[in-house]
Amino acid sequence: MTEPIRQKGFVIHPGFLDRAAQDALVVRLREVLDNAPLFTPRTRRGPMSVRMSAAGAYGWISDTRGYRYDARHPDGLVWPPIPDEVTAIWNAVSGCTRAPECCLINWYDSAARMGLHRDEDEADLSCPVVSVSLGDDALFRTGNVARGGRTESIWLKSGDVVVMGGAARLAHHGVDRIRFGSSTLLPNGGRINLTLRVVT
């Protein structure tokens, strides 16, 4: 396995999942999305460019009331369980004794991006956030705990896993763009990003 890359406190595991593992995981995620369909979150500034769903005890909801973790999909459905294959990734890289309570599923098409933000709504910030990339390459930007200052970028490829813990746990990060068509994992292109976190 390739040695991890450390960038501004973020620990990046290139090629953590081989192609067979990626294919198997996509099958499981399609089962999740059959039960908790993708939806478009809204903020006070309008709709986000990513589509989203979740698995686990909690999902993340954003609408005109604000954003929050919620035990139910916007359709009122209870979120499906986190697939065992996803939990196994957490167990392998997180260094955390607690199990993940939420697996956000973000879908990026060719125009989607995610602005610089911090994951700070969780109660136990000693637990990391673990991110899994599937599909097209994404230009991942890592920043600082305080907004502003120098940032660095790295292309995340399908099968890469990022651990955001320690000094990087409250650091700003985002996705500037997608290199559409760079992967053959998803038949119609695009990127799936999973982020695992402990909520309570």
The annotation status of 134 as a binding-site residue, yes or no, is no
The annotation status of 196 as a binding-site residue, yes or no, is yes
The annotation status of 192 as a binding-site residue, yes or no, is yes
The annotation status of 179 as a binding-site residue, yes or no, is no
The annotation status of 91 as a binding-site residue, yes or no, is no
The annotation status of 172 as a binding-site residue, yes or no, is no
The annotation status of 191 as a binding-site residue, yes or no, is yes
Closest CA relative to residue 134, chosen from 96, 164, 170, 108: 108
The annotation status of 117 as a binding-site residue, yes or no, is yes
The annotation status of 121 as a binding-site residue, yes or no, is yes
Closest CA relative to residue 112, chosen from 179, 57, 170, 31: 179
Q: DSSP assignment of 132-159, as one string?
A: EEEESEEEEEE--SSSSS--EEEEE-TT
The annotation status of 58 as a binding-site residue, yes or no, is no
The annotation status of 108 as a binding-site residue, yes or no, is yes
How many Cα atoms occupy the beta-carbon half-sphere of 8 within 13 Å?
Answer: 19
Tell me the binding residues.
Answer: 60, 67-69, 106-108, 117, 119, 121, 147, 173, 191-197
Tell me the binding residues for substrate.
Answer: 60, 67-69, 121, 147
Tell me the binding residues for 2-oxoglutarate.
Answer: 106-108, 191-197
Tell me the binding residues for Fe cation.
Answer: 117, 119, 173
